[in-house]
């Protein structure tokens, strides 16, 4: 209160110096401050900490908002600091709708602006609603290729199209690009990479990767598609590194569940943001238009049944037809956020499950393609990710310490599954425990290997704040925090320590060998499974052409990424999504321009 009053007084004083004394003498605050420019700083709480803005007021109106400090996800924050800023200026108010898909950042940003407004002491002039200042879109637009969905698959496809000399547009229904790719851990499997070589892993091959992937999906993936994935993953990784300039950690790999080798490259920052940021930069460099808030609604065909256009709706409700001379690529991702669709194909995964997915993941591409008789497969195979936030359903990236040796225990303080098992197996095992949750336990030694806490400090801080993660000096302290019997937990840890020494996990055969938990401090985190990846989707051939219900090619229609259903079978192995979307995204762009 004191600070606010002082601040207010100083603003008034400054105004007195800047403007005429007679105005300062006025009792009407709006009038007194509306005759010149005032700048005020405000702070709000975003998704990753404070957002600090400087708001400029002139003549009772907000004329500018500059962001001074923030730690938000660059891709998700972009429309907040541009589109939402425009809305605030236009409405002359901080009471405007948040950017969908970036709600937490929007909230913090608007809070900061409101804070500045309050501190300024100004009464802002009411404005009458004005139409969008954005120029209207042409209602008929023509490109060689129309790509639907700005995730990893869509970007990869569009870049290849443009590189081949054809024109291309990307339609994205959300205000932000990136889809699930953006919020994923971003790790990517590939055999024989430069990182494997530098770590001395010399015995990995495309064949081994193929076998792991096929087996990991209970042999329900199409062998010829899995073969392409396994054989081209290295080229895809090199393309990301060399063409797109994605930076991967040079000296660390993850071994996700179901893989017989450590083969997952890790992007810097340990999230898909590195991939999306660089893919978006490449599309900008190539001048590929990306139309956000543009929802594809319908595929149009010519008299011969060839797909030749997409009907879309803009944010303002404008209907636009995007004609495609060469064809359309569906890269709309999965349907993890569509509860009704989940229930239609697998009734178990109803609303009692949260999802790790972005809100745009609603299966639109599958539905649109089905309307023109596209074939679908594996739809009932929906994967839950085992270690997610019990409050939000969001995937825990801090808990990637599991790939460096963290163990899983139940409320009874006992291990119940091999920690590097497949996601579906671990999820099922967790759901079979009392309370349908688990705890992940690791120590500083494990934390120092992958540095997942440093990589995801904001997630860590939030988990601690919510009482879902606790750092303890002793096992006893860790147990007591979550009301686990300390003796049982100590016994479990003693066994783990013994198995770590011999290299033989006699209970669950931990495939990469357990790590000793003798030394603290310890981290213990509560987790639940949450819907993560939909393995089913459109049937495509090896050139990514969409096939109809009878297996015939639908001319002009291509698909790549999570929207397709032929690669992962019953279960997708960790690190295989990025390998899939980049590989087949690129193939779609190359095939369509041949
Ligand atoms: P993938 O990993 O296969 O690339 P992502 O989930 O990363 O999939 O990206 C899919 C993108 O497609 C998301 O950004 C999503 O919002 C977008 N999308 C989904 N449905 C539509 C639609 N009807 N029109 C335009 N974009 C869509």
Name the residue of 100, 172, 370 to mutate for ligand 1: max ligand atoms within 8 A of Cβ.
172
For ligand 1, the distance from its centroid to the CA atom of residue 177, given in whole angstroms, is 8
Is 3.90.1010.20 the CATH classification of the domain at 35-120? yes
Q: How far apart are CA 412 and CA 517, in angstroms?
A: 18
pLDDT tens profile 531-560:
999 999 999 999 999 999 999 999 999 999
Specify the residue with its C-alpha closest to ligand 1, atom 23.
296
Nearest ligand 1 atom, CA 152:
4
pLDDT of the residue at 594: 94
For ligand 1, the distance from its centroid to the CA atom of residue 320, given in whole angstroms, is 18
pLDDT reading at 34 higher than 60: no
Specify the residue with its C-alpha closest to ligand 1, atom 3.
561
For ligand 1, the distance from its centroid to the CA atom of residue 179, given in whole angstroms, is 5
Q: Which residue did the predictor score with more confidence, 271 or 564? A: 564
What confidence tier does 281 reach under pLDDT thresholds 50, 70, 90? very high
Q: How far apart are CA 72 and CA 232, in angstroms?
A: 34
Name the residue of 333, 540, 562 to mutate for ligand 1: max ligand atoms within 8 A of Cβ.
333
For ligand 1, the distance from its centroid to the CA atom of residue 335, given in whole angstroms, is 10
pLDDT reading at 12 higher than 80: no
For ligand 1, the distance from its centroid to the CA atom of residue 561, given in whole angstroms, is 9
What confidence tier does 129 reach under pLDDT thresholds 50, 70, 90? low
Which protein residues are within 6 Å of ligand 1, measured from CB?
148-154, 171-174, 179-181, 295-296, 331-333, 360-361, 364, 561-563, 581
Name the residue of 149, 292, 367 to mutate for ligand 1: max ligand atoms within 8 A of Cβ.
149
pLDDT reading at 478 higher than 50: yes
Which segments of 348-421 are extended strands (E)? Answer: 376-377, 382-388, 407-409
For ligand 1, the distance from its centroid to the CA atom of residue 238, given in whole angstroms, is 24
pLDDT reading at 485 higher than 80: yes
SS3 content of the chain, % helix, strand, coil (to 5): 40, 25, 40
pLDDT of the residue at 391: 93
Nearest ligand 1 atom, CA 561:
3
Residue 423 among the catalytic residues: yes
Nearest ligand 1 atom, CA 272:
7
> Between the CA of residue 317 and those of 80, 82, 297, 367, 368, what are the distances in Å?
21, 20, 12, 21, 19
For ligand 1, the distance from its centroid to the CA atom of residue 478, given in whole angstroms, is 41
pLDDT reading at 109 higher than 50: yes
Per-residue buried b or exposed e for 331-365, using 16+ beta carbons within 10 Å of the residue's own CB: bbbbbbbbbebbeebbeebeeebbbbbbebbbbbb
pLDDT reading at 257 higher than 50: yes
Q: What is the mean pLDDT of the chain?
A: 92
What confidence tier does 461 reach under pLDDT thresholds 50, 70, 90? very high
Name the residue of 75, 147, 173 to mutate for ligand 1: max ligand atoms within 8 A of Cβ.
173
DSSP letter (8 states) at residue 175: S
Nearest ligand 1 atom, CA 332:
12
pLDDT reading at 31 higher than 70: no
Q: Which residue did the predictor score with more confidence, 263 or 102? A: 263
Mean pLDDT of 182-197: 96
pLDDT of the residue at 135: 62
For ligand 1, the distance from its centroid to the CA atom of residue 252, given in whole angstroms, is 30
pLDDT reading at 10 higher than 50: no
pLDDT reading at 35 higher than 60: no
pLDDT reading at 573 higher than 60: yes
pLDDT of the residue at 425: 92
Specify the residue with its C-alpha closest to ligand 1, atom 16.
360
pLDDT of the residue at 2: 39
Mean pLDDT of 26-37: 47
Mean pLDDT of 471-486: 98
Specify the residue with its C-alpha closest to ligand 1, atom 14.
179
CATH architecture of 140-381+541-592: 3-Layer(bba) Sandwich (3.50)
pLDDT reading at 14 higher than 60: no
Q: Which of 415, 423, 545, 572 is catalytic?
A: 423
pLDDT of the residue at 130: 52
Nearest ligand 1 atom, CA 585:
4
Residue 359 structure tokens: 């809100």
Name the residue of 176, 332, 559 to mutate for ligand 1: max ligand atoms within 8 A of Cβ.
332
Mean pLDDT of 101-127: 91
Per this entry, what is the length of the chain?
Answer: 594
Nearest ligand 1 atom, CA 177:
14
Contact at 8 Å (CB) between 409 and 439?
Answer: yes
Write down the domain spans for the chain: 35-120, 140-381+541-592, 384-530
pLDDT of the residue at 136: 80
Among 238-242, 313-317, 343-347, the range scoring the smallest mean pLDDT is: 313-317
Nearest ligand 1 atom, CA 312:
24
What confidence tier does 47 reach under pLDDT thresholds 50, 70, 90? confident
Q: Which residue did the predictor score with more confidence, 125 or 133? A: 125
Contact at 8 Å (CB) between 376 and 566?
Answer: no
pLDDT reading at 572 higher than 90: yes
Q: How far apart are CA 144 and CA 288, in angstroms?
A: 12
What confidence tier does 180 reach under pLDDT thresholds 50, 70, 90? very high
DSSP states along 119-148:
HHTPPPPP-------SPPPPSEEEEEEEEE
Contact at 8 Å (CB) between 478 and 441?
Answer: yes
What confidence tier does 18 reach under pLDDT thresholds 50, 70, 90? very low
For ligand 1, the distance from its centroid to the CA atom of residue 255, given in whole angstroms, is 27
Specify the residue with its C-alpha closest to ligand 1, atom 11.
149
pLDDT of the residue at 48: 81
Q: How far apart are CA 113 and CA 117, in angstroms?
A: 6
pLDDT of the residue at 128: 65
SS3 211: helix
The third-level CATH classification (topology) of the domain covering 384-530 is: Flavocytochrome C3; Chain A, domain 1 (3.90.700)
DSSP letter (8 states) at residue 401: G
């Amino acid at each position: 209160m004191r600070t606010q009053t002082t601040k207010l007084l100083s603003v008034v004083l400054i105004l007195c110096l800047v403007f005429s004394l007679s105005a300062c003498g006025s009792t009407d605050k709006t009038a007194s401050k509306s005759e010149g420019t005032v700048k005020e700083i405000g702070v709000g709480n975003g998704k990753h900490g404070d957002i600090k803005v400087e708001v400029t007021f002139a003549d009772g109106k907000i004329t500018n908002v500059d962001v001074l400090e923030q730690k938000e996800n660059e891709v998700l924050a972009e429309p907040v600091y541009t589109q939402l800023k425009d809305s605030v200026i236009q409405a002359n108010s901080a009471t405007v709708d948040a950017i969908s898909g970036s709600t937490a950042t929007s909230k913090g940003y608007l809070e900061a602006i409101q804070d500045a407004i309050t501190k300024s002491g100004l009464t802002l002039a009411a404005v009458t609603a004005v139409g969008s200042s954005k120029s209207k879109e042409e209602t008929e637009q023509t490109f060689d290729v129309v790509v639907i969905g700005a995730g990893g698959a869509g970007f990869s496809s569009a870049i290849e199209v443009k590189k081949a000399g054809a024109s291309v547009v990307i339609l994205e229904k959300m205000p932000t690009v990136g889809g699930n790719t953006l919020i994923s851990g971003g790790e990517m499997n590939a055999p024989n990479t430069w990182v494997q070589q530098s770590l001395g892993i010399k015995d990995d091959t495309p064949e081994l990767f193929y076998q792991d992937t096929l087996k990991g999906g209970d042999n329900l993936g199409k062998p010829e598609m899995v073969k392409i994935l396994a054989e081209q993953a290295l080229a895809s990784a090199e393309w990301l590194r060399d063409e797109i300039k994605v930076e991967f950690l040079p000296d660390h790999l993850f071994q996700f569940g179901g893989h017989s080798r450590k083969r997952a490259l890790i992007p810097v920052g340990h999230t898909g943001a590195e991939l999306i940021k660089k893919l978006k930069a490449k599309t900008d460099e190539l001048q590929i238009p990306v139309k956000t808030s543009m929802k594809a609604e319908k595929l149009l065909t010519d008299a011969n049944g060839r797909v030749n256009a997409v009907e879309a709706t803009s944010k303002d409700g404008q209907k636009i037809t995007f004609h495609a001379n060469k064809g359309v690529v569906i890269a709309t991702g999965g349907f993890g956020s569509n509860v009704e669709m989940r229930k239609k194909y697998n009734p178990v995964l109803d609303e009692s499950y949260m999802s790790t997915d972005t809100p745009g993941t609603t299966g639109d591409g599958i539905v649109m393609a089905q309307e023109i008789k596209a074939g679908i497969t594996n739809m009932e195979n929906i994967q839950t990710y085992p270690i997610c936030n019990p409050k939000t359903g969001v995937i825990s990236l801090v808990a990637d310490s599991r790939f460096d040796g963290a163990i899983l225990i139940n409320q009874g303080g006992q291990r119940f599954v091999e920690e590097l098992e497949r996601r579906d197996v671990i999820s099922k095992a967790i759901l079979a425990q009392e309370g349908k949750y688990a705890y992940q336990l690791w120590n500083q030694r494990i934390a120092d290997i992958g540095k997942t806490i440093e990589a995801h400090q904001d997630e860590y801080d939030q988990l601690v704040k919510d009482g879902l993660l606790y750092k303890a000096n002793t096992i006893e302290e860790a147990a007591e925090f979550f009301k686990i019997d300390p003796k049982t937990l100590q016994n479990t840890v003693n066994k783990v320590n013994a198995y770590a020494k011999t290299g033989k996990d006699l209970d669950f055969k931990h495939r990469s060998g357990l790590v000793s938990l003798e030394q603290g401090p310890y981290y213990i985190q509560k987790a639940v499974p949450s819907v993560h990846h939909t393995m089913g989707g459109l049937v495509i051939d090896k050139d990514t052409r969409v096939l109809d219900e009878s297996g015939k090619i639908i001319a002009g229609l291509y698909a790549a990424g999570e929207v397709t259903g032929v690669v992962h079978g019953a279960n997708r192995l960790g690190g295989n999504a990025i390998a899939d979307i980049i590989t087949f995204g690129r193939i779609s762009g190359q095939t369509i321009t041949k």
